[in-house]
Structure 1
Amino acid sequence: MDSAWSFAIDRGGTFTDVIGRSPDGRETSLKLLSSSTAYTDAAVEGMRRILRAAPGAPFPAERVAAIRMGTTVATNALLERAGARTLFVTSTGFGDALVIGDQARPELFALDIRKAPPLYAGVVEADERLGADGGVVRPLGAEALKARLAAAVAEGFQSCAIAFLHADLNPAHELAAGELARQAGFGFVALSHEVSPLPRFLPRAETTVADAYLTPVLQAYVRQVAEAVAGAPLYFMTSAGGLVRAEAFRGRDAVVSGPAGGVVGVAETARRASWRARRALASWR
């Protein structure tokens, strides 16, 4: 769609920067407050202003080729502890594994060690166990887990992070527990073998909890923007600096979505500057 606009957007906690490139290659930039009573969303409002869409008129999706956005929605939710109320479901005996953590000591000689509280608000230990080869040592106690999950939903838990020992080798127990969680009424369920299919339990479980904690908040924002742009192609920047479709954007990918955009921009600027410098040097010689 060379005859359509494309947008690059940085949606920060305080300001939102919108850059629009017109079909003839000209660029227009706009800076708005990210939160204002004058509009619902700063990114959408910025695009509407650049496209000169009339107030109240439908978003002109047919004039937009692509919308690429970096956002600190997940970053701010993590820093402000404003994620979903999350339940951590794990193997019997490992309920406090994430609180204990590993032997990392950021302040090696500190006598008063202060650790941040976990992201989850409750723990359920499921009666199950897999061996180091992925074989079933103890089958999943489905009925007991089902009752405890239903009780957690009744207490107001919204999101569920499930991480069992050795689930990277055999996801059967996680899949069964995930189905029970959905049946119990959890709005979002994260399974560790899908979120982070790695052999080490601790980082896999930590990533799964973060995904369950942040994704509901992130998806709410993504849905809001997607509905507002009426089907225009919408992409979000991941922490790795790549782009994913809006429907594939999850909390595990978004913690440094906004900062990653800055790094990508600096890297590209440096690459172009280096190319120009080499060209200038070659012409001088």
Structure 2
Amino acid sequence: MAYRIGCDVGGTFTDLCLFDDVTGRSTLVKIPTTTGQQDIAVIEAIRLALKEAGLQPGDLDGFAHGTTVATNAILERKGARTALLVTAGFRDLLRIGRQTRAHLYDQYARKPEPLVPPELTYEIAERCGPDGSVTTVLDETSVHAAISAMRENGVETVAVAFLHSYANPAHEQRVAEIIRAEAPKLKLSISSAVLPEPGEFERASTTVMNAYLMPPLEDYLGRIQRTLVEYGVRAEPAIMQSGGGIMPIETASRDKAVHTCLSGPAAGMIGAQRFAAAAGHANVVTIDMGGTSFDVGLIQDGKILTRYESEIEGFPLRVPMFDIITLGAGGGSIASVDAGGLLKVGPESAGARPGPAAYGKGGNRPTVTDANVVLGMLRPGRKLGGGIVIDRDKAAAAIEKHVAGPLGLPVEEAAVGMLRVVNAAMVRGMRRITVERGLDPRDFVVTAFGGAGPLHAVDLCAEMDIETLHVPPSPGLLCGIGLLLAPWKHDETAMLGTVADRVSSSFIYERIRGLIERIEAQAGRDSIDMATMATTASLDMRYRGQGHQIPVAYEHRNLDVALEAFHRAHKRAFGYDRRDQEVEIMLVRLTGTAPAATDKLPLPQISTDADPVIAKSPLWVDGRFMDVPVYDRARLAPGTVLMGPLIIEQQDTTLIVRNQAVTVDGFGGITVGIKP
């Protein structure tokens, strides 16, 4: 037997899947997240899963984990006390940033305060040119002075970001040697290792973020690892990256801390991709609605779209990340009426504590979940994970006090209004990733997951005119399942900065060979079998004079094919191409992957002996309550066809179907035809 665990921590719930990849049997656990001490819920979920499966901790062969610790540390400003060493004359690099503005006409808009304050930014006398030539020799005296000042100021971690270090990392590497020798307790992050690319502001921001996150991640992951060992788990834990691969704890808490910022949503995308492919869907809009947020992603031709530039709380971040749009619209999003009588929903969330009013855990403000309860989409008296029992009276009281009363509406109409507002926000997110990129949403299938995703999915598909909805077998735990299906992954980048007409494929391949050596070195440190590893290359291209690049695949060392792909990609993204202009190749990227520990899909246990209809319950349909059948998904056999309106319940979520047809596929997934 080979038993593996995938455990994802969200803002509201902690999800775990224990999988036997020999028999295919899965044990699923969903309990409230212990806010502020996520490791407590993780260990409790492991304990519950092992108990239910009749296993001992030592029976586990693998443990993969997705966490929000990095994201929370940035949002809450609870990272390490960080210093920044910069080239002399660039002290205000983080404060000046770029001239782009998120809100162009907002005269009161303010940039976020940098993670490193001015008094902890130290100038070092040195400089290299963009070609790597040394124009100012490194003054080591200024480095020693900076180290002394950092000691006096209680610095925990330091980022080093020198001008043009992507072209010549020698100065950064020498500074790192000096710091390790004189201040070995200081944690260190250098930009030529974190992000060897042009763009001094983005490179410095990413490096600072990596340094800022190292201590809190090391503390959290260290607690997880120690507790697992004390509990008797011998398997080495692996951590999810925002770009869709796992890595060991040591790598995650040091060299690649910044790569964990969207680890949970990335795992969900992997799970969605695998189950959508099993159902025959290659073009998919994924919607992941949990208790705190709503994440939208895109799968085209069976591949998850990846981006290389993003931001968190206004801070630029350049690491490979799945292309996910995140909105503050979850089941715990709080509704309120402002002074002008306008109904608002989110982004503030009730979280795991106190949670929605219907959970009976002390929450008294109305949430999206409470609206679903009032309208019968979540049945009163239903038991959820963590001992939660749905209480309709408390949900109705919260909506009456904070929404229905102020607006002069019946509770049900107020609840309908809350859902319309939050659905409108989610539809805007879905349009951003399709329509605003020149894609027709009607060419896609929606895969809905997360604890609240299937509750809203039918209505969202109808709004987007999408004809098919796919709901995987365990949507509320898909992020945990995706962790089990994630490969090992490592990315490396090298600067080219040359015109395509003046470069040969052999020159590009020489750079790729250097990247292969670095990936193989990392694979060795991560105990990866080299025989199983594969690499894929891409080139970042742009028309000469542009300030942005487009990554395109570089296959079979064929530059002409890559150039043609660039022209097509540019036209698709911007509506035109310029084939008569020179094309610059700015970067070469190489990704190394090794297969996941299992290629089997964790499937639910189906029991068709009992009647699948477990109750009749009132559901708000077309402006009135209607008694509809409630089905237990664990009793729906493959090939089952149903006609709505109906409710399908399972351990981790609820699917609401109005006047649509439902079909259960051979993998336990559900397909809903939106148009009757």
Which residue identity is paired with 1:241?
G
Q: Cα–Cα, structure 1 residues 29 and 92, in superposed 2: closer, same or farther, change >3 Å?
A: same
Q: Please report how far the alpha carbon of residue 52 of structure 1 lies from its aligned counterpart in structure 2 after TM superposition.
A: 2.9
User: In 2, Cα distance between the equivalents of 1:211 and 1:130?
Assistant: 23
Residue 273 of structure 1, aligned match among 279, 295, 303 = 279
Matched, 1:93 2:89: yes
Aligned length: 271
**Aligned equivalent of 2:19:** 21
Paired residue for 1:233?
Answer: 236
Q: Tell whether 2:45 aligns with 1:46.
A: yes
The offset of 1:275, in angstroms, is 5.5
| Higher gyration radius (CA) | 2
1:182-229 residue CA offsets vs partner (Å, 9 max, x unmatched): 322553100000001112222111110110011221122122222222
Among residues 246, 254, 257, which one is paired with 1:251 in the alignment?
257
The aligned residue for residue 11 of structure 1 is 9
Give the match for residue 138 of structure 2: 140
SS of 1:152's equivalent in the other structure is helix
- 1:63 maps onto 2:62 in alignment: no
CA contact (8 A) 2:9 2:38 kept: no
**Alpha carbons of 1:36 and 1:71: their partners in 2 closer, same or farther (altered >3 Å)?**
closer
Structure-2 separation of matches of 1:224 and 1:73: 13
* Deviation per residue, 1:263-283 (Å, 9 max, x gap): 222233322233599xx9xxx
1:71-150 matched pairs, under 5 angstroms: 71-121=67-117, 122-150=120-148
1:155-234 aligned at under 5 Å gives the runs 155-182=153-180, 183-230=182-229, 231-234=234-237
Would you say the 8 A contact 2:39–2:224 is kept in 1?
no
- Residues 11 and 35, structure 2, Cα contact 8 Å, conserved in 1: no
Give the Cα–Cα distance (whole angstroms) in 2 for the partners of residues 170 and 234 of structure 1.
Answer: 35
For normalisation by structure 2, the TM-score amounts to 0.38
For 1:227 and 1:110, locate their aligned partners in 2 and report how far apart those are by CA, in whole Å.
49
CA distance in 2, matches of 1:36, 1:91: 40
CA contact (8 A) 1:86 1:209 kept: yes
> Residue type of the partner of 1:274?
G
In the alignment, structure 1 segments of 5+ residues that lack a partner are: 54-58, 281-285
**Over residues 107-161 of structure 1, what are the superposed CA-to-partner deviations in whole Å (9 max), with x where a residue is unaligned?**
1122223100111132001111112221221122212321222221221110100
Summarize the Cα distance change of 1:275–1:199 in structure 2 as closer, same or farther, 3 Å threshold.
closer
Provide the secondary structure at the position in 1 that maps to 2:163.
coil
Higher strand share: 2
Higher alpha-carbon deviation: 243-252 or 190-199: 243-252
Higher-RCO chain (CA-CA 8 Å, sequence separation at least 6): 1
Report if the CA contact (8 A) 2:251-2:257 is conserved: no
Q: Which has the higher helix share?
A: 1
1:157–1:186 Cα contact (<8 Å) kept: no
Secondary structure at the aligned position of 2:242 is classed as coil
Q: Could you tell me which amino acid in structure 2 is paired with residue 4 of structure 1?
A: A
1:149 counterpart SS class: helix
| 3-state SS of 2:280 partner | helix
Distance in 2 (alpha carbons) for counterparts of 1:263 and 1:246: 21
The 2-side partners of 1:222 and 1:128 are apart by 36
Counterparts of 1:21 and 1:238, CA distance in 2: 21
On the 8 A contact 1:238/1:244 being kept in 2, the answer is yes
What's the offset of the Cα at 1:103? 2.1
Q: Between the two proteins, what is the percent identity of the paired residues?
A: 36
Alpha carbons of 1:97 and 1:36: their partners in 2 closer, same or farther (altered >3 Å)? closer
Quickly say closer, same or farther: Cα 1:186–1:104, change in 2 above 3 A. farther
Q: Decide whether the 8 Å contact of 1:33 with 1:42 is kept in 2.
A: yes
- CA distance in 1 between counterparts of 2:38 and 2:51 reads 15
Structure 1 residue ranges (4+ consecutive) displaced by more than 3 angstroms after TM superposition: 36-40, 59-62
Distance 1:272 1:247, change over 3 A: same
Measured in 2, the distance between the counterparts of 1:268 and 1:52 equals 28
Amino acid at match of 2:239: F
Matches of 2:41 and 2:72, distance apart in 1: 16
What is the TM-score of this pair, normalised by structure 1? 0.86
Distance change in 2, residues 1:87/1:72 (3 Å):
same
Cα distance, 1:138–1:255 mapped onto 2, change above 3 Å:
same
* DSSP 3-state at the match of 2:77: coil
RMSD: 2.5
In structure 1, C-alpha distance between the alignment counterparts of 2:91 and 2:38, rounded to whole Å? 44
- Is the contact made by 2:70 and 2:258 (CA closer than 8 Å) also made in structure 1? no
Is the alpha carbon distance of 1:85 and 1:39 closer, same or farther for their aligned partners in structure 2, counting shifts above 3 Å? Answer: closer
